[in-house]
Amino acid sequence: MNMAGKSIALFCLFAFYTRNAAGDDYLRMGTNTNTAEATQFLREYDREASGMCYRVTMSQWKFVTNITEYNRRRMLEELALSTKFEKLSWRKAAAYDASRLPDPQGRKQLIRIVQASRASLSDDKFAEIQQIITEMKEVYNSAKICPFGQKPYDPHVSRTTPQPTESPEAKAYQHNQPIQNSQLHQDITDYPNYCDMQLDPEISRILAHSRIENELLYVWKSFRDKTGPKLKNKFMRYVQLANEAAVNTGYRDAGDQMRAAYDDTSFRESVEEIYNQVAPLYKQLFTYVRRRLILRYGEASVRPDGPIPAHLLGNMWAQNWKSIMDLVMPFPQSPNLDVTSEMLRQGFTPLRMFQMAEEFYVSLGLRPVPPEFWRGSMLARPAQRSVQCTASAWDFCNRIDYRIKQCTEVTMQDLISTHHEMAHIQYYLQYADQPQLFRDGANPAFHEAVANAATLSVYNIPHLQRLGLYQNKSHDPYEVSMNFLMSMALEKVAYLPFAFMVDQWRWSIFEDGVHNMNARWWQMKLRYQGVTPPIGRTEADFDPGSKYHIISDQEYIKYFLATILEFQIFEQLCIAAGYTGHLHECDVYRSRDAGRVLSEIMQPGASMSASDIIRSMTRGKTNRISPESLVKYFRPLELWLRVQNRDEQVIGWNSNFHDVALFAPQRALSNTNCFSFLMLLTSFVIVNSM
Ligand code: X8Z
Ligand code: ZN
């Protein structure tokens, strides 16, 4: 055993379980009760952690805004130093008996150092789990597939010459016939120069825009072939190590450790209750969308009372359906709210879009961004260097430097995104005076929820009218509203069951082990989302590996909660602004009272519990995340959907043996034993209708 392992073993001998903020006993901590020493440690930690955070963040910024081998190496060096710092700090913090510290804020800080870390692992295993996560990300990021319907690259033929279309997929594609599973197994990875389609943007674009079923199926399956099988074994080892770290720290398993961030002893029940409250709305949307998909693809592809095949919903994971708006628009003769052409006509630039976003928050009485923001940010794609373009907001932990990285284009989507990223910056500015450990959301859902709540006030008809970007001259306002609400529902309501099931699956793997991982993934997709794989899956596949957040060790339930919480926050802003109309038409622009509510949510950062913040935000009405506001927002659409679905036999979906056979383990299916068969049916076949 190495030295670190020894000191942990020694520490564990004297360890006992402390109470975390939620009052349950499980976090394992030490026996040191010297308050003065602990206070001194936290003071030093704050200074060193801020410095460390600055250096790491700067090295990451330099890398993602200028991707070179040198910058990558510099970033890895800084990350290695911060890993050492994390281990050292964890050991020091875990030696204290946090429960006996008289200062609740100090207690909370000590718990935050220990709670989420995996530093309880031996040095070797700590390094191993980090290495595995890095490797999984590399496999994922390097996944490339060949274009559909064309023969793989022939070096003797010029790239610009059209390729002969002779492959089996190509033939099927030309005649729009179903592709056989065996045809899809064709391995064409030997043509690396040609097979260079990545998830973002090429594959995602096909899933969003193609309406050719075979093409959708091809990219859906090919991306999974290039990720899952290579990731499965690594993921299994990751589960083992993550669980070991969690148990060392005093948790039952790694899922238990992830959930601890929410300070809620009945967290799983609370989340499930929220899901049950939004499921009826989801099923109305689902049923209407299924009918429209049948009109496009026919009953041979989509059963009228069944689940929907996952490749038809416009997204690799069927998590966001906004790309199929053209198929499901309630009133195609009325417009879909999009002000892109007006923005172009008025000569918008990326800089002007960010200035508008800043002005939105200043109009609420919040803070302007500092000059360093304008000097340091990357607001458009630079011409001469390679960069990572995903939009993000950065806090350099020195209370001076805040930046946004966004390859902004003049589109309405990017205008919403500028407001979203600026809200993150506003959050950073609001909690800047907190200690480093509290410069974060009240729980992991808060940052996204606040950013999205603000954008609900931007992406809406009255606000875009106020900005002079939208005028409804000749269309029925009800029809325009329903189109708008449908596009929002495809983004927010359709997303909820997915955002809910991802961590249900992950927690079940941490808790019950790594058997039948793929079947359990699809079982949950079917149960909560009502989607099936479009083609048979086995345990040689590892479809959860097609989702980045799974293999990159990022918790996901925060996105579910953030989607619920954003509407709850938004409604409180609207109430503060004195607004009394339909929630989806509320604009809080220029309301200082709304700004005050927002500021009271953001300023405490993580120093205050989420329940206290929600209690204060709702003026004592509740201290829990509640889906009431989301349901209220979509109420006019829900009424419309109920009318559209009035003749449907099934609101929701019934799944049958064929659906389950697509993913259930062969062993279970071929078992003729009547009891096993019944068990299989009850565990997999789901009636999810109402
Ligand atoms: O991961 C993200 C963002 C970063 S916070 C790119 N999102 C989730 C996802 O892509 O699955 C945003 C929506 C949900
Ligand atoms: Zn965000």
Q: What is the pLDDT of residues 57-79, one digit of tens each?
A: 999 999 999 999 999 999 999 99
**pLDDT recorded at residue 685:** 58
In this structure, which ligand is nearest to the CA of 388? Answer: 1
In short, whether 495's Cβ falls inside 6 Å of ligand 1 is no
Assign 15 a pLDDT band (cuts: 50, 70, 90): very low
Assign 409 a pLDDT band (cuts: 50, 70, 90): very high
Residue 383 above 70 pLDDT?
Answer: yes
Residue 182 above 50 pLDDT?
Answer: no
Reported as a single tens digit per residue, the pLDDT across 387-407 is 999 999 999 999 999 999 999
Q: Which residues contact 152 (CB under 8 A, 6 or more apart)?
A: 146, 167, 188, 190, 191, 194, 195
Assign 149 a pLDDT band (cuts: 50, 70, 90): confident
**pLDDT recorded at residue 587:** 98
Alpha helices, H only, 364-445: 371-376, 412-430
Among 115-129, 383-397, 636-650, 672-686, name the one with the lowest average pLDDT.
672-686
Residue 574 above 50 pLDDT?
Answer: yes
Pairing of strands 652-654, 687-689: antiparallel
Average pLDDT, the chain: 90
| Span from the CA of 651 to the centroid of ligand 2 (angstroms) | 33
**pLDDT recorded at residue 150:** 67
**pLDDT recorded at residue 2:** 31
**pLDDT recorded at residue 683:** 55
Which residue owns the Cα nearest ligand 1 atom 1? 549
Assign 152 a pLDDT band (cuts: 50, 70, 90): low
Once rounded to an integer, what is the mean pLDDT over residues 658-686?
A: 69
DSSP 250: T
CA 325 to CA 313: how far, in whole Å? 10
In short, whether 560's Cβ falls inside 6 Å of ligand 1 is no
Q: Which residues contact 581 (CB under 8 A, 6 or more apart)?
A: none
Among 123-127, 151-155, 297-301, 564-568, name the one with the lowest average pLDDT.
151-155
In this structure, which ligand is nearest to the CA of 447? Answer: 2
DSSP 313: S
φ and ψ at residue 605, rounded to 5 degrees: 55, -135
Residue 311 above 60 pLDDT?
Answer: yes
267-297 vs 557-576: helix crossing angle, rounded to 10:
90
Q: Which residue ranges make up the annotated binding site for Zn(2+)?
A: 420, 424, 448
**pLDDT recorded at residue 170:** 37
Once rounded to an integer, what is the mean pLDDT over residues 569-584?
A: 98
Instruction: Give all strands (DSSP E) within 321-463, no chain letters.
Output: 392-395, 402-405
Three-state secondary structure call for residue 464: helix
Position of tokens 């009945």? 266
| Span from the CA of 559 to the centroid of ligand 1 (angstroms) | 8
Assign 27 a pLDDT band (cuts: 50, 70, 90): confident
**pLDDT recorded at residue 688:** 79
**pLDDT recorded at residue 58:** 98
Which residue owns the Cα nearest ligand 1 atom 4? 392
Residues with a known catalytic role: 421, 549
**pLDDT recorded at residue 686:** 59
Ion ligand 2 residues within 5 Å by Cβ:
451
- Both tokens of 429, joined, read 């500015």
Assign 164 a pLDDT band (cuts: 50, 70, 90): very low
**pLDDT recorded at residue 151:** 56
Residue 610 above 60 pLDDT?
Answer: yes
In short, whether 556's Cβ falls inside 6 Å of ligand 1 is no
How far is C-alpha 433 from the chain's CA centre? 28
Q: CB count, 10 Å around CB of 247?
A: 16
Among 71-75, 650-654, 685-689, name the one with the lowest average pLDDT.
685-689
Q: CB count, 10 Å around CB of 647?
A: 6
Cβ-contact 41, 92 below 8 angstroms: yes
**pLDDT recorded at residue 194:** 78
**pLDDT recorded at residue 30:** 87
Cβ-contact 573, 594 below 8 angstroms: yes
In short, whether 559's Cβ falls inside 6 Å of ligand 1 is yes
Assign 25 a pLDDT band (cuts: 50, 70, 90): low
Please give the share of the chain, as a percent, with pLDDT higher than 90.
Answer: 83
CA 64 to CA 68: how far, in whole Å? 9
DSSP 363: H
φ and ψ at residue 338, rounded to 5 degrees: -150, 115
Position of tokens 């200043």? 362
- Both tokens of 549, joined, read 């957040």
Q: Which residue ranges make up the annotated binding site?
A: 262, 420, 424, 448
Write the CA distances from 405 to 53, 382, 420, 632, integer angstroms: 18, 11, 12, 34
Cα angle vertex 632, ends 631, 637, to 5°?
Answer: 80
Reported as a single tens digit per residue, the pLDDT across 616-645 is 999 999 999 999 999 999 999 999 999 999
- Both tokens of 76, joined, read 């890895």
Residue 91 above 90 pLDDT?
Answer: yes
390 Cα nearest atom in ligand 1:
6
Domain ranges of the chain: 168-226, 267-331+520-540+640-688
Residue 675 above 90 pLDDT?
Answer: no
β-bridge partners, 315 = none
- Both tokens of 444, joined, read 């992991």
Cβ-contact 627, 500 below 8 angstroms: no
Among 221-235, 258-272, 667-681, name the one with the lowest average pLDDT.
667-681
Closest CA to 116 of 251, 276, 228: 251
